[in-house]
Amino acid sequence: MQKLTLDGAGVATYNICCRGYVVENSVLENSRCSAIGAAGKGVTARNNQMLYSAQPTNVPGKGSVSCATGGFGGVAEGAAIYSEAKAVNLGTVIDGNTIKYSFGPAMDINGAWGGVFKNNQVSDNTAWAAVSLYGASNWLIQGNTIRHPATEPPQPYHPYCATGPNGGHSAGIFLCQDTDTNNLVVNGNTITGNKTSSFYGILSVGADEVKPYWAPRNNTFSNNDVSGSNVGCGDDFKPGQWLTDQNTWTGNNCAGSPNTGPSFF
Report the C-alpha dihedral over residues 205, 104, 16, 18, rounded to 10 degrees: 30
Q: What is the DSSP letter of 159?
A: G
For 70-93, how does the pLDDT look when each residue is reduced to its tens digit (9 = 90+)? 443 334 568 999 999 999 999 999
For 132-160, how does the pLDDT look when each residue is reduced to its tens digit (9 = 90+)? 999 999 999 999 999 999 999 999 999 99
For 194-238, how does the pLDDT look when each residue is reduced to its tens digit (9 = 90+)? 999 999 999 999 999 999 999 999 999 999 999 999 999 999 999
Q: CA nearest 136: which of 150, 121, 118, 117?
A: 117
pLDDT surpassing 90 at residue 241: yes
pLDDT surpassing 50 at residue 163: yes
pLDDT at 74: 38
**Global confidence as pTM:** 0.94
For 8-38, how does the pLDDT look when each residue is reduced to its tens digit (9 = 90+)? 998 899 999 999 999 999 999 999 899 999 9
pLDDT at 54: 84
Strands (E), 76-230: 81-89, 93-95, 98-100, 107-113, 116-118, 121-123, 129-134, 140-142, 145-147, 171-177, 190-192, 195-197, 200-206, 220-222
